[in-house]
Structure 1
C-alpha cells in the first residue's frame, strides 16, 4: 500500500503553476490503480492526517465494517432533502404535476409528524404509531404508505433496504368511518335559496359531481357557455384521476353560472373565487335550510355529499349505470352504484307496485276440484243397466265402442 500528499503542478503559458492546496494519493493492497482525492487544505500535516482517515475508512469499507461512503453521506443528509430530490426525479420522468405536488405534500406531512430527520429514523414502528392516530380512510392511509415506500425504494441503492417493505396495508373492505347521504330535491332547493351567492357553488357540485378541490381551481377558461350544449372542461392537472373530462351542464346549472359570469372576470380568473365555503360556513347554511348535518341514521351531509347527490339523481333519472359511471368519472361501476348512490332514496315501493298481480282467493272459497268423469272422447255411449237410467262406461284410458259397451254383462250403475 502506498500513500502520500502533494500539490499538483502544471505548465501554463510557459510558466509552472503549483496548486495552493494538497491532493492525496493512495493505493490499497490489491487495487490495480491509484486513487486521488482532493483534500482542499494548504497545510501538509493536516492533509496527511485527512488522507490517513480516508484510507482507514476505505479499508473498513472493504472489510464490511462500515457502509460505503455514498451510503454514509446519504444517511447523514436530511430526509426532507431526499424527498425534494425524489419529487424532482418524478417530474423529470414526466409524472403528472398534480400527482407530484400531492406526493410532496404527503411526504412533508409524514416527515414532520413522525419526527423523521434522516433516513435512519424511518422505522415500521414509527409509521404504524402515526397511522394508529389518524382518522383518515383506509384508502388515504395506503396512499401515505405508498408515498413513503416509493421514497425509501428510490433510496435503497444509497441507504439500504426499505424498512417499510413489510408494513401491511390498511384494509379497504371495512365500512366507511363516515357514511354520507344524498340531498333530496327539496333539501337542495332550500339550500340554494338560503345560501345567497354560494348557492351556485352547491348547485354546480350537485349537478356536475365536481369535487371541492376541483371547483376551487376551476377557471372561466374552463367554462363554455356559448355552445349548443354548455359544458365544463375539467383539466387533467386539477382532476383527481389526472384525466381531462368535459361535463355537460344542466339547464338550471347553466342559468346559475351565466348569472355569475355576468359579474365579470377574465378567462384566467377563478370561477368561484371567494365563494367556496369553509366547513363552518357550510354548516351554517345547512342549519338555515333546516337540513341536519347528521340524520337519525348517523349519515352525514357534508360538502362531498353533493357529489353523492349527483350520482343518486342520475340513478333516479333512469340513466344507465355505464353512463352514470362515465359522468362521475369513476373507473369502477360498483363505486358509482354502491358508494355514490343513496339507497334510501331509491323508489323501491314504486318498483314493487309494478310487479304483476297474482289472484289470491279468500280462505272460505272452495277450490276447483278435478272432474269426476273424464272428457267426452273417452266415454262410451249410454247403456241401460237394470233400470231406465242411462249410464256411461269408461276405461279412463281408451274410448269404448258401442259394441264393446253392450257386451258388458253386468255393470255398476253410476249416477249422472
Structure 2
C-alpha cells in the first residue's frame, strides 16, 4: 500500500511518501522518501510516478544499469568527491596529490555552479579553462587543473556514476608553451665554489655544514627529488656493496616504484661515516622545512658568489666578475635555480658527458625517452655531426680504394671466417689470383677468381640447401643476390655491374 504523511506539523514542511517496491527475484522492499513539496496534490503526483517507475522496473522493462547510473548522477558532488578521494588513497597517492586534485575539482564546481555530476558538460569545462587563460594563469597550471577534472569524470564513468564522460573532448594546453619557471643547472665551476661556501658557513636554515654538503652531493649524483631525499633513513643506504646505492621506497617516489640510485665510492665513504651514529630508522639528513629548501640552497649560492668575487686578483677583475651572472639564481636565459635544480643538474651533466639517453632516462626515472630527449637532448653538443661521421665510417668499403688505385696500400679483406686476402694488382700484393669463399658453417672451399674481377665485384657462393650447412640459394653472387656484408657489390666508376 502507498501513503502520504508528514513528519512535522510545521507550516511548509514537505510531504513524505511510502510505497512497496518489488526487487529482482520477487523480494519486496518498503521505500520511504520525501517528495520535497508541502503541496499535497503535487506530492500525490510524485508518489504516483514513483509507484509507476517501481512497477516498470519490477517487470524488467527498465535497464537497471541505466537506472542506477541515473540515481548516482543525481547525488551531490561532494558525496562522489569523497569516494574519489578514497580511491586515490587506496591507490597509494600522496596526501598532497589527493588534496590538490580535490581542490581543482572544487574550483570547477564553484565556477560552474553545478549541483550534481549530471550537470557536468563540455561547455562548462571549456568556459572554466577559458576563464583561467584570460586570468593569466600559466599553461602548465591550467594543464594540471584540467587533468584533475578529467581524472574525476573518467572515474565517474568507470564506476557507473555517469553514462559518458562529458570532458573527453576538452583539450589540455601544452604545459611547456608558456612556462613561467625554467630551472637551470649548476655549472661544474659553480659546483666547486658552492662546496667551498658550504664548508665556510656552519648553519643555514637549521641545517649544518656536513648535512648540506652530503645532501647536495647525494641530490646531484642520484637525481632524487626533495621529498624523496626527505624520506631517506639510515636503512635506505646500501653502502657496503660493490656498487653502493640509495634505495627509495615506492610510497615516496613520484611513479610509485622502488628507486635504486647509485653513488660513487667517495660519497659512499662520507655517507657511511655520517650515518654511523644514527639508528636504522633515523632520518639520513637534518633538513629545514620543505618550503625552505630552495632558500637554503640560494643562501649557499650567495655565499659562494661572495667568495668568488673576493677571490679576484684586482679591482678590474672584480668589476668584470660583478657584471656576470656566475653563481646567481637566474642566468642569461631567464632560468632560475631552486632545490629541484639539483635534480636537473644530475641529468644535464650526464648528457654533457655523452651518456646514452636511455641510461639518462633510467637514472632520472622518466616515464618515456621522449621526455629525456626533450629535456636534455640539446646539451649533447655536436652530437649530430659526430653521428654523421661515425655513420660514414660504417659505410666505408674495405679494399675499394686499393682496387681503384687511389692509394698504394694493400687493404685486407675479411671473410666470414676472419681470413684475409689481397686485391689483385694492388701494391704490396702478390700476383696470385684472389679466391671466392664458399659460405659454409663447417668447411671452406675456394674457387679461383676470374682475373677480370676485383674487390668491388667479388661475392659469396652459397651451397645448395640440400648440403650440410647451406642456405636456400644456389647462386654465386657477383654484383646481384646475397652478399657478404663485408664485400658490397659497388663497381669502380665506369664499370657496369
Would the TM-score normalized by the shorter structure come out above 0.5?
yes
Give the structure 2 partner of residue 39 of structure 1.
32
1:186 aligns with 2:185: no
Change (3 A) 1:174 1:328: same
SS in structure 2 at match of 1:237: helix
- Determine helix, strand or coil for the equivalent of 1:39: strand
Partner of 1:269: 282
Q: Tell me the equivalent position of 2:342.
A: 306
How many pairs are equivalent? 318
Corresponding residue for 2:302? 287
Q: Does 1:105 align with 2:102?
A: no
State the distance in 2 between where 1:38 and 1:337 align. 62
1:119 aligns with 2:112: no
Distance in 2 (alpha carbons) for counterparts of 1:69 and 1:333: 43
Residues 6-17 of structure 1 correspond to what in structure 2 (within 5 A)? Answer: none
Q: Flag the structure with larger Rg.
A: 1
Report if aligned partners of 1:232, 1:246 keep a CA contact under 8 Å in 2: yes
Deviation at 1:341, TM superposition (A): 6.0
For residues 279-336 of structure 1, what are the alpha-carbon distances to aligned partners after superposition, in whole Å with 9 as ceiling and x for unaligned?
3333222222221111122122222221221122223434333322222222433433
Distance 1:231 1:194, change over 3 A: same
Aligned partner (choices 206, 211, 217) of residue 220 of structure 2: 206
| 8 Å contact from structure 2 (residues 85, 102) kept in 1 | no
Seen in structure 2, the aligned counterparts of structure 1 residues 103 and 296 have a Cα distance that, compared at 3 Å, is closer
- Equivalent residues in 2 for 1:309-388 (5 A)? 309-340=345-376, 343=379
Query: Contact 1:141 / 1:170 at 8 angstroms: preserved in 2?
Result: yes
* Stretches of structure 1 lacking an aligned partner (at least 5 in a row): 7-21, 356-416
Q: Specify the alignment match of 1:365 in structure 2.
A: none
**Equivalent-residue separation in structure 1 for 2:134 and 2:341 (angstroms):** 27
Q: 1:162 to 1:316 in 2, by over 3 A?
A: closer
1:215 maps to what in 2?
229
In structure 2, the residue matched to 1:83 is: 81
State the match for 1:251 in structure 2: 265
Residue 131 of structure 2 corresponds to residue 129 of structure 1: yes
CA apart distance, 1:115: 4.7
Structure 2 CA distance for partners of 1:73 and 1:173, relative to 1, 3 Å: closer
**CA distance 1:178–1:131, change in 2 (3 Å):** same
Match of 2:48 in 1: 55
**3-state SS of paired residue (2:274):** helix
Question: Cα distance 1:152–1:268, how it changes in 2: closer, same or farther (>3 A)?
Answer: same
Q: CA deviation at 1:250?
A: 1.8
Alignment deviations for residues 133-180 of structure 1 (CA, whole Å, 9 cap, x no partner) = 475553x64454233223223334435543322211212563644333
TM-score of the pair, normalised by structure 2: 0.53
CA contact (8 A) 1:232 1:247 kept: yes
User: Take 2:190 and 2:99, find their aligned partners in 1: how far apart are those partners?
Assistant: 36
TM-aligned CA distance change 1:256 to 1:166, over 3 Å: same
Contact (CA 8 Å) 1:217, 1:238: kept in 2 or not?
yes
Q: 2:69–2:163: 8 Å Cα contact kept in structure 1?
A: no
TM-score normalised over the length of structure 1? 0.62
Superposed CA RMSD in Å reads 4.3
Measure, in 2, the Cα distance between the counterparts of 1:154 and 1:91. 14
- Give yes or no for contact 1:224–1:230 (8 Å, CA) kept in 2: yes
Q: CA separation of 1:329/1:36 partners in 2, compared to 1, >3 Å: closer, same or farther?
A: closer
1:25–1:34 CA contact under 8 A, matched in 2 = no
1:217 is displaced (CA, Å) by 1.9
Structure 2 distance, partners of 1:221, 1:134, is: 46
8 Å Cα contact 1:80-1:108 kept in structure 2: no
If asked which structure has higher relative contact order (CA below 8 Å, sep 6+), I would say 1
Cα 1:180–1:74 change in 2 (3 A) is same
Residue aligning to 1:229: 243
Equivalents in 1 of 2:359, 2:27: separation in Å?
70
* Cα separation, 1, equivalents of 2:79 and 2:253: 28
Answer yes or no: is the 8 Å Cα contact 1:113–1:130 preserved in 2: no
